[in-house]
Structure 1
Amino acid sequence: MATTVSASTLNGRHHKAALTVFMVIVVAHWGEHLVQAVQVYVWGWPLSEARGVLGLPFPWLVTSEWMHYGYALLMLVGLVLLRKGFAGRSRTWWNISLGIQVWHHMEHLLLLGQKLSGLNLMGRPVPTSVLQLFLPRMELHLFYNAVVFAPMVVAMVLHRRASEHAGAACTCAVAH
Structure 2
Amino acid sequence: MSIPVAGRRQLNERHHRAALGLFLVVVIAHWAEHVMQAIQIYALGWPIPEARGVLGLAFPWLVTSEWMHYGYALVMLAGLIMLRAGFTGRSRTWWNIALGLQFWHHVEHLLLLLQALSGTNLAGRPVPTSVVQLLIPRVELHLFYNAVVFAPMVVAMLLHRRPREAERAVMRCDCALRTA
Which category of TM-score, normalised to the shorter sequence, fits these structures?
over 0.9
Report the equivalent of 1:64.
65
Is the 1:97–1:147 Cα contact (8 Å) retained in structure 2?
A: yes
In the TM superposition, residue 162 of structure 1 has moved relative to its aligned partner by 4.1
Report the equivalent of 1:151.
152
Report the equivalent of 2:14.
13
Structure 1 residue runs of 4 or more that deviate by more than 6 Å after TM superposition: none
Could you give the per-residue CA deviations for residues 80-109 of structure 1, whole angstroms, max 9, x where no partner exists? 000000000000000000000000000000
Instruction: State percent identity of aligned pairs.
Output: 70
Report the equivalent of 1:175.
178
- Unaligned 5+ segments in structure 2 are none
Could you give the per-residue CA deviations for residues 95-148 of structure 1, whole angstroms, max 9, x where no partner exists? 000000000000000000000000100111100000000000000000000000
Q: TM-score, normalised by structure 2?
A: 0.94
Separation (CA, whole Å) in 1 of partners of 2:12 and 2:168: 13
Count, aligned residues:
173
In the TM superposition, residue 167 of structure 1 has moved relative to its aligned partner by 1.6
Aligned residue for 2:174, secondary structure, equals: coil
Separation (CA, whole Å) in 2 of partners of 1:19 and 1:74: 13
In the TM superposition, residue 175 of structure 1 has moved relative to its aligned partner by 1.7
- Unaligned 5+ segments in structure 1 are none
In the TM superposition, residue 166 of structure 1 has moved relative to its aligned partner by 3.4
Report the equivalent of 2:92.
91
Aligned residue for 1:166, secondary structure, equals: helix
Q: TM-score, normalised by structure 1?
A: 0.96
RMSD across aligned positions (CA): 1.1
